[in-house]
């Protein structure tokens, strides 16, 4: 009995680890950074991971509005990745007075090869937990930088 248990536990652990590694390897993710004009000159750097349900998603976004002296880093609470587009949401953190708690959903499109004018970015004020279904209007063209989107 002990011998079966001794071999069953490591086998179960290995199986669990393989299932977890396979799930992590196949998730959608997007990264990048760039400067663009969308109602103001802005910079966005992010890393978003889409693990399925919004409560499983994670990442960070660093935002800076160069025209309004606004800058913060936020924890992503929802990410939705397709072959060339990522939508992700967060709440503006407390260190940004007057905007703290504002819900934001971004949509970033990877236009292919790195270079000026290929990628776009835009955001709206919306429930960040609904990033999987939220519609964001077309965004501003990235002036310099690059966004990369991978759906698996």
pTM of the model: 0.78
Neighbours of 73 (CB within 10 A): 15
pLDDT band (50, 70, 90) for residue 152: low
**At residue 58, does pLDDT exceed 80?**
yes
Calpha distance 118→114 (Å, rounded): 7
**At residue 15, does pLDDT exceed 80?**
no
pLDDT band (50, 70, 90) for residue 19: very low
What is the tens place of the pLDDT at every residue in 121-142? 999 999 999 999 999 998 888 8
- At 22 the pLDDT is 36
Give the CA angle between residues 21, 80, 51 to the nearest 5°. Answer: 20
- Pick from 10-14, 78-82, 118-122: least confident: 10-14
Domain ranges of the chain: 28-150
- At 8 the pLDDT is 47
The answer to whether residues 122 and 38 touch, using CB atoms and an 8 Å cutoff, is: yes
% of the chain beyond a pLDDT of 70: 78
- At 83 the pLDDT is 84
């Amino acid at each position: 009995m002990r011998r079966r248990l001794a071999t069953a536990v490591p086998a179960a652990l290995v199986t669990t680890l393989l299932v977890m590694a396979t799930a992590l390897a196949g998730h959608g993710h997007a990264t990048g950074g760039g400067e663009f004009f969308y109602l103001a000159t802005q910079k966005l750097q992010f890393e978003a991971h889409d693990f399925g349900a919004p409560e499983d998603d994670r990442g960070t976004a660093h935002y800076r509005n160069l025209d309004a002296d606004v800058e913060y880093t936020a924890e992503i609470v929802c990410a939705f990745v397709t072959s060339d587009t990522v939508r992700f949401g967060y709440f503006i953190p407390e260190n940004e007075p007057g905007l703290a708690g504002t819900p934001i959903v971004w949509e970033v499109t990877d236009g292919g090869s790195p270079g000026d004018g290929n990628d776009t970015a835009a955001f709206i004020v919306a429930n960040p937990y609904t990033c999987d279904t939220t519609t964001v209007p077309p965004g501003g063209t990235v002036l310099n930088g690059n966004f990369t989107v991978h759906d698996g």
